[in-house]
Structure 1
Amino acid sequence: MSAPIVIAAGGTGGHFFPAEALATELAARGHTLVLMTDTRAGRREHGVFAACEQHVLPGSGVAGGGAVRKLRGILALGRGALRARSILRRVRPAVVVGFGGYPSVPPLLGARLLGRKRPQIVLHEGNAVLGQANALLARFADAIATSFARVAKVPPGLETILTGMPVRAEIAAAARAPFPDATGDLRVLVWGGSLGARVFADVVPQTLAALPDALRARLRVTQQARKEDLERVRAAYAQAGIEAEVAPFFDRVAERLRDAHLVIGRAGGSSVAELSMVGRASIMVPLPIAASDEQSANADALVRAGGGWMLRQSGFTPEALGELLRELLAQPAALEVASRAAGGLGRPDAASALADLVERRIALACGTTGPDGLRSQPERSIPPRAQHQASGTMRA
């Protein structure tokens, strides 16, 4: 397997974590990797990519903002694509794998610009609605791997494989962890990421402080909050007599997720995948400014499976959240049932399944059945009926 595999990913952890998980699996199989990323992610000094050839390409998002911002974004993506084409011509990869978001656009456009000598192009979509970047790139991709069984806006005819979302190694190690004992403490994990975390700082402490005394005394809260919100959130919990750890960032995420009885947070593809992998009940508040409202579709998939509850941000009030929490925290058995349902959607072999797809595309491009050890799994293909559903419009 001499031809390298290019991983195109950058931006936020939601796009980069699955790329790292796939890279780790491919490296273990003996493949040579090249990373193409953006300035937000930058060069990786640690982890699987540290020893790989790396390229930081120019690029910018084009969604939102005015005409000038969009024009600058398009020009930056164009420069990045031309630079990527030059690099790819020298590297001569077998496959380029993109993980969505604008950082994947220059490498995959650069691959397309190579014409007949281009490598295989594989996309990974982490949400239940095809993202804007992947929607642009899907027209010349060879295959797309999905994290959900139903994905809206996938073009008909594109090979669509349900692999699941590759997650960080520590999350995968906690797959389907037993539900923690709920006869004593009730542990609530509140994560919101850097976008929109303020709504959780505004609503959650106030809601928990108004719970009945017996419930409030049992609460142990871990909450992510912006730096500017830290002191007021800590003060609100202290005044309510609730034991709480509040910080802008937490390590040992897998451990905290494993120990939680309930999670409150956004519904990004990576977050839903981690909830499903570990198997934890959640109250999801989709990010309202998401371009394609993909977080609502993600949450809807978990709700339909019985693994959680969704509150729109417009209805995420202390009254609405309080009513739901009084019901759920008073019946930990319901949380355990929902946790098992969420865990039923988890795919611990997602990184392996995606690596199988990449290797199969290499084999198909070479016109062979693949080298010894190639683990092709055609049964993961979405059946024609489901593929038809995946190409339609999903109702959130």
Structure 2
Amino acid sequence: MADNSPLVLLAAGGTGGHLFPAEALAGALARRGIAVDLATDARAARYAGHFPARRLHVLPADTMRGRSPVALAKTGLALGTGILKGYRLMRRLKPAAVVGFGGYPTVPPLLAGVFSGRPTLIHEANGVMGRANAMLASRVTAIATGYPNLFAHAPALAAKAHHTGNPVRPAVIAAAGTRYAAPMVGGPLRLLVFGGSQGARVMSEIVPAGLRLLTPELIARLDVVQQARPEDIETVRAAYTRHGVKAELAPFFDDLPARMAGAHLVIGRSGASTVAELSVIGRPSILVPLPGALDQDQLANATALADAGGALLVLQSDFTPERFAADITRLAANPAALSAMADAAHSVGRADAAERLADLVVRIADIRV
């Protein structure tokens, strides 16, 4: 890419829900001849080694960890230092735009962009706005959303909001080329179980216990792929072996989109990236939102997909072995219902979200490509 290419500075926290859509946008911008740098904090930088950016810039940031004077002072000092360093970075890089994807590491570079007069954009992937984006929303040039009507009760924010959908990784676009094929009656039933980037202990506790309650005939049909925490894997493996369930277990699958495409049914949490990938690939799911989250973002995401007919939403308080076994038994006996769920999920997916977001970036930055 030429040295005089326009530059867009992306800012993202360290979770897959933040980095995956940023990665997808980076690819879309690169295809247009636009250079990309990434700004994040030291913790998130550990997960960004393969991010397709020209350079990585580390700025101090901190999460709100409490309301005590000491905690507030520590957070304020980190953010203030990050904003000052970010302002110096803006003067040096002169980016055409600064784009944030949520998480507190995005606050210093976005506010530095605002204070230096650069066009700024935040992308909100969830069905409710996260705290970091809420801090920035009134100050930025534009807001991109993963879900429509996010600001139905906030006219000032709605005026600068654009529904782009949630960008997904190239591997997800490739997996979307595999059409859903419902399980044959009496044939294999492929289940994919995962709980986000760190795994979910509840999946390791409930899923094996639920599957052992199935009839022997249904157990014989199962082919399970499950993500589990390293400390849980041997316990989960022993449970499956004891009950004759065919299972492949790992702490992490680097080909998760392909695994998703090969599944008849996905069981997992409902982070924004997970729901976006399920929708673009078009797979039925049982979603168990992470409980206790201050913003209840996973509940909003799961509700949107369930309302569209693409998923079953099960609150963690209701996610018992007995309930899970009943859901699997019912769906296994009704392949047409699984196909309908797959179609419904696919109908709300936006495979072109990265390109739509890139269009918005180019427009607010007035980049000539």
TM-score, normalized by the shorter chain, greater than 0.5: yes
Corresponding position of 2:341: 338
Alignment of 1:294-313 (within 5 A): 294-313=297-316
Contact 1:267 1:286 in 2 (8 A): yes
1:148 pairs with 2:120: no
Corresponding position of 2:172: 171
Segments of structure 2 that go 5 or more residues without pairing to the other structure are none
Corresponding position of 1:349: 352
Corresponding position of 1:31: 34
Corresponding position of 2:50: 46
Q: CA deviation at 1:139?
A: 1.0
For 1:13 and 1:7, the matched residues in 2 are separated by 15
1:284 pairs with 2:284: no
Corresponding position of 2:120: 121
Amino acid at match of 1:326: T
Contact 2:21 2:168 in 1 (8 A): yes
The change in CA–CA distance for 1:317 and 1:102 in structure 2 (over 3 A counts) is: same
Contact 1:93 1:119 in 2 (8 A): yes
Q: Percent identity?
A: 50
SS in 2 for 1:189: strand
Alignment of 1:101-116 (within 5 A): 101-114=103-116
SS in 1 for 2:138: helix
For 2:57 and 2:257, the matched residues in 1 are separated by 30
Q: CA deviation at 1:3?
A: 3.8
Corresponding position of 1:394: none
Q: CA deviation at 1:293?
A: 0.2
Corresponding position of 1:388: none
Contact 2:204 2:228 in 1 (8 A): yes
Alignment of 1:68-83 (within 5 A): 68-83=70-85
For 2:163 and 2:334, the matched residues in 1 are separated by 34
For 1:36 and 1:202, the matched residues in 2 are separated by 38
Which is worse superposed, 298-307 or 55-64?
A: 55-64
Contact 2:9 2:36 in 1 (8 A): yes
Amino acid at match of 1:306: G
Alignment of 1:1-396 (within 5 A): 2-42=5-45, 44-49=48-53, 52-63=54-65, 68-114=70-116, 118-151=117-150, 155-158=154-157, 159-175=160-176, 177-183=178-184, 184-195=187-198, 197-363=200-366, 371=368
Count of aligned residue pairs for this structure pair: 361
Q: CA deviation at 1:178?
A: 1.1
For 1:53 and 1:154, the matched residues in 2 are separated by 39
CA RMSD of aligned residues (A): 1.8
Q: CA deviation at 1:76?
A: 1.1
The change in CA–CA distance for 1:63 and 1:135 in structure 2 (over 3 A counts) is: farther
Contact 1:176 1:279 in 2 (8 A): no
The change in CA–CA distance for 1:295 and 1:45 in structure 2 (over 3 A counts) is: closer
For 2:290 and 2:228, the matched residues in 1 are separated by 16
Contact 1:196 1:287 in 2 (8 A): no
For 1:45 and 1:320, the matched residues in 2 are separated by 41
The change in CA–CA distance for 1:289 and 1:152 in structure 2 (over 3 A counts) is: farther
SS in 1 for 2:144: strand
Amino acid at match of 1:98: G
The change in CA–CA distance for 1:34 and 1:251 in structure 2 (over 3 A counts) is: closer
For 2:143 and 2:81, the matched residues in 1 are separated by 25
Q: CA deviation at 1:27?
A: 1.0
The change in CA–CA distance for 1:325 and 1:181 in structure 2 (over 3 A counts) is: closer
SS in 1 for 2:238: helix
Which is worse superposed, 325-334 or 183-192?
A: 325-334
For 1:69 and 1:224, the matched residues in 2 are separated by 35
Which is worse superposed, 171-180 or 15-24?
A: 171-180
Contact 1:62 1:74 in 2 (8 A): no
Amino acid at match of 1:276: S
Contact 1:165 1:351 in 2 (8 A): yes
Amino acid at match of 1:53: R
Q: CA deviation at 1:65?
A: 7.5
Q: CA deviation at 1:258?
A: 0.4
For 2:198 and 2:230, the matched residues in 1 are separated by 13
Contact 1:130 1:153 in 2 (8 A): no
Segments of structure 1 that go 5 or more residues without pairing to the other structure are 364-369, 374-396
SS in 2 for 1:254: helix
> Residue deviations 1:183-240, cap 9 Å, x none?
2210000010255600111100000111111111100001111111111001011111
For 2:252 and 2:268, the matched residues in 1 are separated by 14
Q: CA deviation at 1:152?
A: 5.3
SS in 2 for 1:123: strand
The change in CA–CA distance for 1:340 and 1:77 in structure 2 (over 3 A counts) is: same
Contact 1:38 1:56 in 2 (8 A): yes
